[in-house]
Amino acid sequence: MKSKEPFDRVSAAVSESRLWRRHVDMGQIGATPRGGVNRLALTIEDALAQTQLLQWASARGYTASRDEIGNLFIRRKGTDATADAVLTGSHLDSQPTGGKYDGAYGVLAGFEVLEALDDAGIETVRPIEVVAWMNEEGSRFSPGAMGSAVFTGSASLDEMQGKTDRKGISVRDALAETAKRCPVPSRRLGEVKPAAYVEAHIEQGPRLESAKATIGVVLSIQGSRRFLVAIFGEEAHAGTTPRRHRKDAVSAAVAAISALESLTADAHDTLRFTVGCLDVYPSSPNTVAGKVTFTIDLRHPDEATLTDIGDRIHTTVKEAAALRSCTAEITNVSYVKPITFAPHVVDRVRAAARDEGYPSMDLPSGAGHDAMHLSRICPAAMVFVPCLRGVSHNEAESATPEDLAAGTRVLARVILELAG
């Protein structure tokens, strides 16, 4: 049992109360009246969250750096200066009415592992880096998981820096603003090649809670496609224009979404179809709308299904719009294919849960995570902990200090093993 001794020490050094306090502190940045957070990517709240993390890192003597797409790295040295680092982390940005644990937990759990290693007096061969990936949520800038996509070469730096929010502010300009608000030494993309990546996250679904499991051993992430639809009609007076003469973009959008709901109906209820944003122009009560835009989020674990259904969206929307004398343009925003995690890292997560004595279950992830991009360039895995009723992307999102600490202990064991 001697070989297990450092694992038990780091596990024992994980502090449930410190970890919880960090969540409370972080949850005050961008706090909303209903108990959640509003910390959109590259806003002042995001910069404040990063500043908070940097203060904690500085107190421990860890070094920090930020790459060209705004990913923030906190580094704890290894004994081999030439070894590739083991990465862990998640994101500090949130949905506009998001919860306190989605993303923040992965960053704070990773940071707790660094502190626990310090407190246990353990050195690792490889350096360990905690990462806060830029714009995972994709709420302000689309697509989401932007920072990890650029880091892993799945997306182009230049193209992503050119993306704009609804006010027309580019990622490039918002990054410069964040650099001013929260200055950190620069690092070049590609400077660090990860030896492995492990991300802790709340489940954002109800399965662990139902099964009374503390640890979710994540096997895979379903694929997702994003589309942006624009429907073009003609503005007209609401009082004078007969229905047969109208080109009503709202009516066409309603017909299109109804048709898409039929297209995506699934007896297994596995296919996920969501219209989360819809904007009407010119948005006047007594003017027939000339234009409507809306987003489509489509997900499925099976790539063939996702390709098939997703490819039928264009025709479905155009046909529905034409029935209302309108036209439609559909843009493919992103297609992230389903991934499976590296079996040998997944096995370690399962073993660590067993070593800690936590009930665990294997499961796929319904949500996308930065780990999906990392898994394309290095062995990767995820550790899930339960959240109340599976509610997430909601200010009511909730998790217990015990579960958060349990996931961190599992993470600490896996990281220590990977970092040697």
- Shortest Cβ 249–a second copy spacing (Å): 10
The distance of closest approach from Cβ of residue 45 to a second copy in the complex, given in angstroms and rounded to an integer, is 15
Q: How far is the CB of 93 from a second copy (least distance, A)?
A: 11
Q: What is the closest distance, in whole angstroms, from the C-beta atom of residue 368 to a second copy in the complex?
A: 6
Phi, then psi, of 30 in degrees rounded to 5: 80, 20
Pairing of strands 215-221, 223-232: unpaired
Q: Where are the beta strands (DSSP E) in 307-420?
A: 327-336, 339-340, 360-365, 380-385
Q: Which is nearer to a second copy, 272 or 318 (CB)?
A: 272
Q: In this structure, what are the phi and psi dihedrals at residue 21, rounded to the nearest 5 degrees? A: -60, -40
Minimum distance, C-beta of residue 243 to a second copy, in the bound complex (Å): 6
| Binding positions for a second copy, rule: CB under 8 A | 95-97, 137-139, 142, 144, 203-205, 222, 224, 226, 234-244, 248, 250-251, 254-255, 257-258, 261, 266, 269-270, 272-290, 295, 297, 299, 365-368, 390-395
Token pair, residue 215, equals 């640890």
- Residue 381 has which token pair? 């895995």
Q: Tell me whether residue 114 or residue 255 sits nearer to a second copy (CB atom).
A: 255
Q: State the nearest-atom distance from the C-beta of 371 to a second copy, in Å.
A: 14
Nearest-CA neighbor of 138 among 91, 184, 173? 91
Distance (Å, whole) CA 165 – CA 43: 11
Contact assessment for residue 89 and residue 110, using Cβ atoms and an 8 Å cutoff: yes
Nearer residue to a second copy within complex by CB, 133 or 273: 273
Closer residue to a second copy in complex, CB, 124/398: 398
Nearer residue to a second copy within complex by CB, 241 or 400: 241
Q: At closest approach, how far in Å is the CB of 115 from a second copy?
A: 30
Of the candidates 159, 148, 169, 166, the one whose C-alpha atom is nearest the C-alpha of residue 333 is: 159
Angle (nearest 5°) at CA 42 between 199 and 161: 90
Of 55 and 258, CB closest to a second copy:
258
The distance of closest approach from Cβ of residue 113 to a second copy in the complex, given in angstroms and rounded to an integer, is 26
Compare residues 122 and 236 and give the one whose CB is closer to a second copy. 236
CA contacts within 13 A on the Cβ side of 217: 20
Nearer to a second copy, 161 or 365 (CB): 365
What CA–CA distance (Å, rounded) separates 135 from 158? 15
Dihedral-angle region of residue 145 (phi above 0 means left; psi in -120 to 50 means alpha; beta otherwise): left
Rounded to 5 degrees, what angle do the CA atoms 293, 259, 269 make? 105
Q: Tell me the C-alpha distance between 317 and 345, whole Å.
A: 42
Q: How far is the CB of 353 from a second copy (least distance, A)?
A: 21
Tell the smallest beta-carbon distance from residue 323 to a second copy (Å): 12
**Residues 163 and 41 sit within 8 Å (Cβ to Cβ):** no
Q: For the chain, how big is the Rg over CA atoms in Å?
A: 23
Residue among 212 and 244 whose Cβ is closer to a second copy = 244
C-alpha atoms less than 13 angstroms from C-alpha of 272 in its C-beta half-sphere: 17
Q: What's the rounded Cα separation, in Å, for the pair 113 and 127?
A: 13
* Minimum CB distance to a second copy smaller for 124 or for 316: 316
